[in-house]
């Protein structure tokens, strides 16, 4: 079994997220780091884009979903994003880090890291 991963690092997306009244009125930047298990031997052999896990397509889908979302908790948003990647892109396993920069004074960012696999 291959242990290859395709990753997207530091994808910044503005979103409506949070539980406080002031948060409901503004869009906040969120940062996504995503690692997806994918066997890269086939695309390496064929050198064909259609055999790859297209990280540009994954990024565009996440941007569309997150921009349109409106959740209270980063936990909920992270869970939905992981499920979307597993369901729509044929990924077996995903590790997703969702950071909320500047949410806590003195910290660069806070957030969650989740790992999910397809059943």
Q: For the chain, which residues score pLDDT lower than 70?
A: 1
- The catalytically annotated residue of 5, 56, 97, 100 is 100
- The predicted model scores a pTM of 0.92
- Please state whether beta strands 70-71 and 5-17 pair in parallel, antiparallel, or not at all (unpaired): parallel
For residue 57, what pLDDT is reported? 96
**Distant-in-sequence, close-in-space partners of 62: CB < 8 Å, separation ≥ 6:** 8, 11, 13, 32, 34, 81, 84, 85
For residue 20, what pLDDT is reported? 87
Active-site residue, 5 included: no
Q: 5-117 has which fold?
A: GTP Cyclohydrolase I, domain 2 (3.30.1130)
């Amino acid at each position: 079994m291959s242990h290859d991963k395709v990753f997207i690092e530091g994808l910044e997306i503005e979103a409506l997220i949070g539980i406080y009244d002031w948060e409901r009125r503004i869009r906040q930047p969120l940062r996504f780091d995503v690692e997806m298990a994918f066997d890269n031997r086939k695309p390496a052999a064929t050198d064909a884009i259609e055999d790859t896990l297209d990280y540009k397509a994954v990024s565009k889908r996440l941007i569309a979903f997150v921009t349109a979302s409106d959740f209270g908790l980063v936990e909920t948003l992270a869970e939905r994003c992981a499920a979307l990647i597993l369901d729509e892109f044929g990924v077996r396993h995903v590790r997703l880090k969702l950071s909320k920069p500047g949410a806590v004074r003195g910290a660069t960012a806070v957030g969650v890291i989740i790992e999910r696999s397809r059943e």
